[in-house]
Amino acid sequence: MADSVGMRDLAELKERLRVFVAERDWDQFHSPKNLSMALAVEAAELAEIFQWLTEEQSALPDADRRRRAADELADVLVYLVRIADRLDVDLLQAVGEKLEQNAIKYPAERVRGQARKYDEY
Amino acid sequence: MADSVGMRDLAELKERLRVFVAERDWDQFHSPKNLSMALAVEAAELAEIFQWLTEEQSALPDADRRRRAADELADVLVYLVRIADRLDVDLLQAVGEKLEQNAIKYPAERVRGQARKYDEY
Amino acid sequence: MADSVGMRDLAELKERLRVFVAERDWDQFHSPKNLSMALAVEAAELAEIFQWLTEEQSALPDADRRRRAADELADVLVYLVRIADRLDVDLLQAVGEKLEQNAIKYPAERVRGQARKYDEY
Amino acid sequence: MADSVGMRDLAELKERLRVFVAERDWDQFHSPKNLSMALAVEAAELAEIFQWLTEEQSALPDADRRRRAADELADVLVYLVRIADRLDVDLLQAVGEKLEQNAIKYPAERVRGQARKYDEY
């Protein structure tokens, strides 16, 4: 059990999801369109956990809420990796490039302590 | 440049995001509540790319659409890793456990070729 | 019963929601921020009903699915009217102005049969 | 101009949207599936306006933010009315029934000042 739960990295997750989907013949449902919709639904289910809490309360969730959040985070990751796979996007490379862009868009000395969107600067 | 873009794994991403946020004093905005809202917004921006396409078209995006999708996937991953960090959730462990549950909820021989939610079975 | 269910228009809905919220002392939770999050969650629950269907299937829902969709549409309308109330926005006026803008952005002779966003033209 | 902007009620909005869509031959894109996705996207764009604000700040938006919110509220209403039309759902009736259910699910004396979901009671 421990072995099957253990997940080393995103590459292994991608492979295991491929097998899971193939065994169920679910590739027919996994268009980027459908997967992106499913991802948005899971993201909303995560947000639902925190929506009526104050920000402070959301930072100190009880065990049940934290467990439910972990569950939704996992769902989001599943669909994220599936979409990236279907679009042949390397997630780690994409996020590396995004961080480079963000470092330029949001220079630390200029945006410190402010949350406005970059195009409002 | 290549070096700074290179991202080995989720653990490195978590660390780099911590630095990025600390340099900008943005931790004050990064409550799980706000981050889950931001994640949902990015997920919707991803879905927007595909919403008027047929499923078939979404599976064969042109270069521009694919690049925009990669950009949104990166945004989703950023917020996903941030929330997990704030909630002290190990994403790979959470997703490993979720796959175990899904294997039980959706036995291959029973759900093959069907997309109904498990509670409809 | 029939009388209390009968709802004449958005103005009456706004008033009834004000009473409902006041009776429960829920105004403290109904910031535009929270309400917009709740609206997004309800919208996702609506999308979830259709996400694995083909477009054709979604246009011919069975009675149960149609009933669940009606339920989510009602939830969306509730939060929509609440946010508009909190921001003192007249929904019918706002949508009238939006239709004017859309008529200019999307001239019928130019966009006929195409779903690209206006800024792609 | 004022005349064309004036919108009396949801019934008129439904009719005007039918004409708008027919003139552009957009019915082919307006499956409940696609429309629910578009609704979720607009709801997220509304949430984006408030996501980094405190709840207090969101209740006192400046003129520009309020105008942008009104714009997104209008977009949400457009898709809401379109989906209801495609599914032949009477929005005011659906919301009237929903309010009846909510009055039972959330008895005022029991839930006063608490925002937990009804199934947590």
Kindly indicate the confidence band of residue D116, based on its pLDDT and cuts at 50, 70 and 90. Answer: confident
- Radius of gyration, CA atoms only, chain A: 18
Give D-chain residues touching A44 at CB under 8 angstroms.
40
Contact (CB, 8 A) for B72 and B50:
no
Question: Which string of DSSP letters, residue by residue, matches B68-88?
Answer: HHHHHHHHHHHHHHHHHHHHT
- What would the pLDDT profile of C19-61 be if each residue is shown by its tens digit? 999 999 999 999 999 999 999 999 999 999 999 999 999 999 9
The percentage of residues in chain B with a pLDDT greater than 90, rounded to a whole number, is: 87
Q: How far apart are CA B69 and CA B71, in angstroms?
A: 5
Q: Does A40 touch chain D (CB under 8 A)?
A: yes
Do residues A4 and A10 lie in contact, with contact meaning Cβ atoms separated by under 8 Å? Answer: no
CA distance B1 to chain D (A): 31
What is the reported pLDDT for C2? 44
Q: What's the full length of chain C, in residues?
A: 121
Give the pLDDT of residue C1: 41
Residues D69-79 have a mean pLDDT of 98
> How large is the angle between the packed helices C32-50 and A32-50, nearest 10 degrees?
140
- For residues A31 and A26, give the distance between their C-alpha atoms in angstroms, rounded to a whole number: 10
pTM here? 0.94
Q: Which tokens is B111 given?
A: 């759900």
Report phi then psi at B116, rounded to 5.
-60, 150
Cβ of D72 under 8 Å from any chain B Cβ? no
Cβ within 8 Å, pair B52-D34: yes
How many Cβ atoms are within 10 Å of A73's Cβ, its own excluded? Answer: 26
Q: For the packed helices C63-87 and D91-105, what is the interaxial angle rounded to 10 degrees? A: 80
DSSP label of A61: -
Q: In 10 A of CB C12, how many CB atoms?
A: 13
Give the span between the Cα atoms of A7 and C75, in whole angstroms: 39
Which positions in chain D touch B47 (Cβ < 8 Å)? 37, 40-41
- Report d(CA B28, CA B24) in Å as an integer: 10
- How many CB pairs lie under 8 A apart between chains C and D? 218
Q: What is the pLDDT of residues A77-88, one digit of tens each?
A: 999 999 999 999
Q: Are B43 and A80 in contact (CB under 8 A)?
A: no
What is the average per-residue pLDDT within B72-93? 98
The token pair at D29 is 């894109």
Best of B87, B95, B97 to mutate (most A CBs within 10 Å, chain A): B95
B116 band by pLDDT with thresholds 50, 70 and 90: confident
Is the Cβ of B15 closer than 8 Å to some Cβ of chain A? Answer: no
